[in-house]
Amino acid sequence: MNPDLFQKFREEIEFERPEIAREAIRPLLEIFCLRRGMLTPAIMPDGTSVVPGEGIPQMRIRTVILQPYNDQDQEDLYQIAKHHYPDLFAASNEDDEHIGHGTVDKAKLMWVNPAVLRTLALSTTNVEFWPLTQKRGEDGKTTFLNSKPIQNLMNKPPHIDRLQSFSRPGAAATTAAADSENVEESLWRDGVGGLRWYFGQLKIAYGDDNLEFPETREDIPKTFCSRSPKLCWTINRVLELKAQGKRVLIFVNHPLTSTILTALLTSLCVETLNIRSRHTADQRARMVREFNNPQNRGEALVISFQLGGFGLNLQGACHHGIILEYPENLPTMLHAFGRLWRMGQEHEVHWDVLYLENSFDGWVDSRMASKYADILAAEGDIPDMIQGEYRVICGFELIKRYLGQSSNRYPRTRITWSEQDHHLVRAGPSPGSSRRPFLLSGGAVSHAESPTYDEVSKQTPVCHCSPLDSGARRVDS
């Protein structure tokens, strides 16, 4: 491929990114057969057509919408996001760069601050994670979670016997470390996957030395998950599947979430495997074999998108999965779905994608959908008669149907982060609307019946949703 030709072609047609990909790149990819999917027909040398995914049971994906437990938790989430959001974007201060033969790599005007993004994402997972994301030290450069002692904790394997002894009398927390310099002593005494250390940090955050470490298993979720609807729902779902004799695959996006969730599940007598970055290739392969072996006692596998989102076969003995935290982009999530829905799977696959309403999940979800909608507009199976911005809207609709969402995310692209779940925004065209121009039925599209782009962009009908009790869940399917 010659980048100069694509650059010249883009300048000649004066099209945006989706159009140039559709007009120039897509035909080449089709010729080279670089893009193949489970449902893509493959023509064999003898002329027969074969679909790799034929015979694989269906996969069902639903978006589970959660709510903060009470108004105080929702207000705390709002204030955290309001405080950090202005620092989420920064000027790139980059210049255009010549990469050879007259080709110019144009600089990005803005870039996302990864530290702020992590803070907002972890706070959405559990509002009590927020104090752990703040800077410690006078230099202002080293963050607490990036410090060496905390990284040692994240990499330290839990002692299962001690994790499962919380219900015994005399189980008490060690003294909390006041700062990162004293964490080493706390780690030496922990031995329970980080729960004792985490409890110590909660005591510091609340300024209450009278808090006591839970002495029974039943009190563990109440102590560590009371302000995290995502952790509560995940633990409840895992215990539900455990009672049915089924195992579950759980994807997270941050080491802190992986560590705490693994410790919580293990303390509740769930045989939990946890693949971490410190594990060697042999250790990871061993845990994958254990999880895929129906005779093994493993009931849950907690893994990050970075370590397990690509290339792993995890369908041997599991057909239930949970997306607890959003990844960096939607294609990564789609690849994660494929860890269970692949050749060799004998059961219908069920995935739950957790979404916390009125939180920063709205911004992340809309950002991922917006990026992938451009890709679908350029390369997706959308009739060629649909052009321009209409193709992007169709891309959003395809994402909605695939992820089991209640509404198309297209109206959210022009809405600020704090209004993503407003009842006038979160739904697309209402079910009773007489104009549904973007439903792809395979037939011709009548341009006379289609609204203009301005009309579509201004459509914000009320969402017809039943009210929820505080702390309840809504499942969109």
For 132-179, what is each residue's pLDDT tens digit? Answer: 887 655 555 545 555 555 555 555 554 444 444 443 333 333 333 333
Crossing angle of the two packed helices 255-267 and 229-243, in degrees rounded to 10: 40
> Residue 215: what pLDDT?
74
Instruction: Count CA within 13 A, CB hemisphere, residue 385.
Output: 10
Burial of 250 (0-12, 13-18, 19+ CB in 10 A): buried
Q: Which of 17-26, 187-196, 279-288, 375-384 has the lowest mean pLDDT?
A: 187-196
Which pair of tokens denotes residue 198?
Answer: 């985490």
pTM above 0.75, yes or no: no
Number of other residues whose CB lies within 10 A of the CB of residue 390: 18
Mean pLDDT of 37-60: 75
What pLDDT is recorded for position 461? 32
Would you state the pLDDT for residue 100?
A: 55
308 in a structural domain: yes
SS3 422: coil
Q: Please tell me whether residue 476 adopts helix, strand or coil conformation.
A: strand
Distance CA 319, CA 337 (A): 10
Residue 434 has pLDDT above 50, yes or no: no
Q: Looking at this protein, which amino acid is placed at residue 470?
A: S
Dist CA 266 CA 275 (whole Å): 14
DSSP H helix total and E strand total for the chain: 18, 13
Closest residue by Cα to residue 353 from 132, 66, 80 = 66
Q: What percent of the chain has pLDDT over 90?
A: 23
Q: What would the mean pLDDT of 77-95 be, rounded to a whole number?
A: 83
Distance of CA 72 to the CA centre of its chain: 25
pLDDT band at 450 (very low <50, low <70, confident <90, very high): very low
Q: Cα–Cα distance between 394 and 298 in angstroms, integer?
A: 41
The residue segments making up the domain with residue 116 are: 59-356
Residue 213 lies in a domain: yes
* Alpha carbons 402 and 409: distance in angstroms, whole number: 13
d(CA 183, CA 381): 54
Amino acid identity at 214: P
Considering the domain boundaries, does residue 381 fall inside one?
no
Could you tell me the CATH number of the domain that includes residue 187? 3.40.50.300
Of the pLDDT bands very low, low, confident and very high (cuts 50, 70, 90), residue 2 is low
| Among the listed residues 350, 435, 437, the one whose alpha carbon sits nearest the alpha carbon of residue 391 | 437
Residue-level pLDDT at 261: 92
Residue 465 DSSP label: -
> Bridge-partner residues for 474, per DSSP?
65
What's the number of domains the chain is made of?
1
Q: Is residue 128 part of a domain?
A: yes
Q: Identify the CA nearest to 248 among candidates 260, 262, 263.
A: 262
pLDDT of residue 452: 43
Tell me the C-alpha distance between 299 and 264, whole Å. Answer: 14
Contacts of 184 (CB under 8 A, 6+ apart): 149, 152
Confidence check: pLDDT of 353 > 70: yes
Distances (CA, A) of 264 to 156, 228, 268: 15, 13, 6
Residue 120 within any structural domain of the chain: yes
CA nearest neighbour of 238 among 267, 216, 276: 267
Q: Do residues 218 and 234 touch, judged by C-beta distance below 8 A?
A: no
For residue 411, being part of any structural domain is answered with no
Which residues are registered as beta bridge partners of 251?
Answer: 303, 323
Which tens digits make up the pLDDT trace of 226-235? 889 999 999 9
β-bridge pairing 103-105 and 97-100: antiparallel
Give me the mean pLDDT over the 98-124 stretch.
Answer: 75
Question: CA–CA separation, 412 vs 421, rounded Å?
Answer: 9
* Helices assigned H by DSSP within 340-468: 361-379, 389-403, 453-458
In a 3-state reduction of DSSP, which class is residue 246?
coil
Q: Which residue has the higher pLDDT, 460 or 291?
A: 291
Residue 284 lies in a domain: yes
H helices of 85-194, in order, are 114-125, 148-155, 160-163, 183-190
Q: Residue 89 corresponds to which tokens in the numbers above?
A: 């974007």
With cut-offs at 50, 70 and 90, classify the pLDDT of residue 340. Answer: very high
* 3-state SS track over 64-88: EEECCCCHHHHHHHHHHHHHHHHHC
Residue 351, strand partner residues: 61, 321
